[in-house]
Amino acid sequence: MSDASALIKLAGKLGSLNRLDAEDRAAILALPHRMRTYDPAAYLVREGQPPGKHCSFIIAGFAFRQKQTAQGTRQIVSINMAGDLLDLQQLFLKISDHNIQALTRLETAELDRAALRALARERPAVGEAMWIDAMIEASIFREWALNVGRRDARARIAHLLCEFATRMKAAGIATDGRYELPMTQEQIGDATGLTGVHVNRTLRSLAADGLIHRDRRFLGFADWDRVRAAADFSALYLHLDQSAPEG
Amino acid sequence: MSDASALIKLAGKLGSLNRLDAEDRAAILALPHRMRTYDPAAYLVREGQPPGKHCSFIIAGFAFRQKQTAQGTRQIVSINMAGDLLDLQQLFLKISDHNIQALTRLETAELDRAALRALARERPAVGEAMWIDAMIEASIFREWALNVGRRDARARIAHLLCEFATRMKAAGIATDGRYELPMTQEQIGDATGLTGVHVNRTLRSLAADGLIHRDRRFLGFADWDRVRAAADFSALYLHLDQSAPEG
DNA sequence: CGAAAACTTGACCCAACTCAACGAACGTGG
DNA sequence: CCACGTTCGTTGAGTTGGGTCAAGTTTTCG
């Protein structure tokens, strides 16, 4: 993965969210940056600390956002994958309010934070694309609050699986109906407000009912519509329609 | 409430989030708008529909954001009060992904959406203030996901009460230690992922333990630190420090 | 190959839910 | 300003989804 191709990916991502002209793209391709790798579980951002001097753009691998209670129980509030910008949520905030950790081995492009802020200001179309990206993730937070607050264990987990499938397909990472879920059952529990033990039972129940097939962490959907119904899943909140910008 | 004073309030709100110059303020004060009132439970935004031509700025009263499952159970994902901009979450999105309803009788200033988008583009400092406002609410969504996913009923409800107290004080609506919570116990349940019945029992338990005093919907905090401890509440996620902008 | 991490399963428990009834407060119209 | 219907709050009894604890088993990885 060369430096140039990282910025090309970034330009492609932002261009899919808002119409960009040649100058916008040129400004993106001129961003100061460097490549970086994280091990699984490594922290990219820590709650309570000021944001660092750089913003991470995921080239490969997965990351997750997480908060903890005083008793140490953890809630994962969203998952990020290749093509996601991790620091837009706090580009203009003074303190981080949550943690970001690598879920798998993670390859990122570190963009200079000041340069990104300047870019948003000087190239409004790029700034809007960044805004849209951040707003879509805010929508995901809302859906997760609904998921965790009002669905039962089976629907919660099925919903997570559906979101993963939909986003990975949209990001070009996975093809239809089959992918590897890069999470332990304990992490699935942290994302759904359940315990690892109950996640295990629920996944087995979903498989026993023929909704999914499991092999290690590889998941296959036997019947997308049945899983979708069990999950109460609608992709509306992912705003995939933003990919076809209005004039 | 005159029209002019509504825009002055808006300028004050945005000015508290980012440093604005005289031209920024002038541009805010020139925004096309009109005053509007909503009855309790009236819808301002409906999931699945494109955002309207206007953006609402709350002058008085309370609103809430809400999503529902297919079975009809509802999750309130945040509460808004005087001084809040309601439509920033979808200023650049094509479809609304959640509902917004009036919680009480609500007075708003309706700002022209296109004018607000143009303002964000032409006056970057104003655009950044709007971004910051939207990002702070995204932080609230994350905290609510943690609240609903990982705290027990007592902490969840205490947390909601603490957030309300803190935000109302910051917004200048309530003074220390006492305010009216403009929600039914059923609505508190929808915000915390509990049933109205259990909210009732938990509120009474909090009162019985001397943490709070209740009179109708008026709430008093007997001992802020004890409630805060029971709630596992830290105001970090509200980003009140943004009010003192950096240079 | 061996240790650590992840997954699986069973037995038991409890926080929160459901259902149901009733009392209190509110607002609305006559 | 009172009557009354409706919404909201309160309480009890019984149920249950998911948690806890504990002991294997399998997989991963150095």
pLDDT digits (tens, 9 = 90+) for B167-218: 999 998 887 778 999 999 999 999 999 999 999 999 999 999 999 999 989 9
Question: Which B residues between 33 and 92 have a beta carbon under 7 A from any strand D atom?
Answer: none
For residue A217, give the amino acid letter: R
List the structure tokens of B238.
Answer: 């509200």
Indicate the residue of B67, B95, B232 with minimum beta-carbon distance to A142: B67
User: Which residues, numbered 50 to 79 in chain B, qualify as contacts with chain A under a Cβ-Cβ cut-off of 8 Å?
Assistant: 65, 67-71, 73-75, 77
> Which pTM was predicted?
0.94
Residue B29: how many CB atoms within 10 A of its CB? 12
For residue B25, give the amino acid letter: R
> Which 8-state DSSP code applies to residue B53?
S
Shortest Cα–Cα distance, A1 to chain B (Å):
32
Q: Give yes or no for CB of B177 within 7 Å of strand C.
A: no
- Distance, CA of B156 to CA of B181 (rounded, Å): 15
Longest dimension (CA), chain A: 55
- Distance, CA of A124 to CA of A59 (rounded, Å): 24
Looking at the predicted structure, is the pLDDT value of residue A244 above 80?
no
Strand ranges in A39-165 using DSSP code E only, listed in sequence order: 43-45, 54-60, 63-68, 74-80, 99-102, 106-112
pLDDT single digits (tens) A130-172: 999 999 999 999 999 999 999 999 999 999 999 999 999 999 8
Q: Give yes or no for CB of B201 within 7 Å of strand D.
A: yes
- Residue B105 touches partner A, C-beta closer than 8 Å: no
Residues of chain B predicted below pLDDT 50: 1, 245-247
Question: Which A residues between 3 and 62 have a beta carbon under 7 A from any strand D atom?
Answer: none
- Distance, CA of A81 to CA of A174 (rounded, Å): 11
Percent of chain A scoring above 70 in pLDDT: 97
Shortest Cα–Cα distance, A196 to chain B (Å):
13
pLDDT (0 to 100) of residue B144: 98
Distance from CA(B186) to C1'(C17), angstroms, rounded: 14
> B121: helix, coil or strand?
helix
In the block, residue with structure tokens 């032409």 = B122
Question: Which A residues between 206 and 235 have a beta carbon under 7 A from any strand D atom?
Answer: 216
pLDDT (0 to 100) of residue A174: 81
